[in-house]
């Protein structure tokens, strides 16, 4: 499939998945009063899965569009966009730090479990997701004096989002060899 068409489709699917399904799932690890409730965010995955050779300016602009779209659905003008643009900017640096070869040698491929193998891909996505959640929740809970609550919310929602992202990847990646 054409790479542009594929990514446009993925953009729509991820936005609809996030807005129509995941936003309705309010999660909480324990039901004690001091414990934060949150929803899992998987939409940064769109930025994480763009092809290796995408130039930084294109990443930035797509990050901004993605962020504002999510913002407009959730009435959080600018907050998601701010966090998403940041991870779009840092994506290339993180990738080149993690991959053994130069980024230009991976022409025509996208970051995935198959092209990067499990561990580097998980480190790559976990780093950027935690960063995204950190920025987003810091902006959202700006005037909350309770710093422990903020950290707890970042930690809990990052881990939950990562679980959802792994599930998404397992569902939507083609298996190269059949396991039977």
Positions touching another protein (CB under 8 A) are 16, 19-20, 23, 26, 33-34, 36-39, 56-57, 60-61, 63-64, 67-68, 71-79, 81-82, 85-86, 89, 139-141, 143-144, 149
Nearer to another protein, 40 or 111 (CB): 40
Where does residue 75 fall: left (phi above 0), alpha (psi -120 to 50 degrees), or beta otherwise?
left
Q: Of all residues in the chain, what percent are helix, strand and coil, respectively (each to 5)?
A: 70, 0, 30
To the nearest whole angstrom, how small is the minimum distance from the Cβ of residue 157 to another protein?
9
Q: How far is the CB of 89 from another protein (least distance, A)?
A: 5
Instruction: Please write down the HEC assignment for all residues of 74-129.
Output: HCCCCHHHHHHHHHHHHHHHHHHHHCCCCHHHHCCCCCCHHHHCHHHHHHHHHHHH
- In whole angstroms, the minimum distance from the beta carbon of 177 to another protein comes to 38
- Mention every residue, 6+ apart, whose C-beta is less than 8 A from residue 151: none
- Which residue, 88 or 169, is less far from another protein as judged by CB? 88
Write down the least CB distance from residue 45 to another protein, Å: 20
Give the number of other Cβ atoms within 10 Å of residue 31's Cβ: 7
The smaller minimum CB distance to another protein, of residues 19 and 122, is found at 19
d(CA 169, CA 116): 13
Q: Which is nearer to another protein, 53 or 71 (CB)?
A: 71
Q: Please check whether residue 84 is in contact with residue 63, taking contact to mean a CB–CB distance below 8 angstroms.
A: yes
């Amino acid at each position: 499939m054409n790479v542009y068409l594929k990514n446009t489709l993925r953009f729509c699917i991820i936005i609809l998945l996030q807005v129509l399904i995941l936003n309705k799932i309010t999660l909480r690890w324990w039901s004690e009063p001091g414990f934060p409730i949150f929803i899992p965010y998987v939409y940064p995955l769109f930025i994480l899965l763009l092809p290796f050779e995408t130039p930084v300016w294109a990443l930035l602009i797509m990050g901004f569009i993605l962020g504002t779209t999510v913002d407009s659905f959730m009435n959080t003008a600018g907050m998601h966009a701010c966090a998403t643009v940041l991870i779009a900017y840092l994506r290339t640096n993180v990738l080149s730090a993690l991959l053994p070869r130069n980024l230009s040698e991976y022409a025509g491929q996208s970051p995935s479990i198959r092209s990067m193998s499990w561990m580097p891909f998980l480190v790559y996505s976990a780093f950027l997701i935690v960063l995204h959640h950190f920025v987003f929740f810091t902006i959202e809970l700006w005037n909350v004096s309770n710093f422990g609550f903020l950290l707890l919310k970042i930690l809990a929602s990052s881990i939950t989002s990562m679980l959802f992202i792994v599930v998404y990847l397992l569902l939507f990646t083609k298996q190269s060899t059949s396991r039977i």
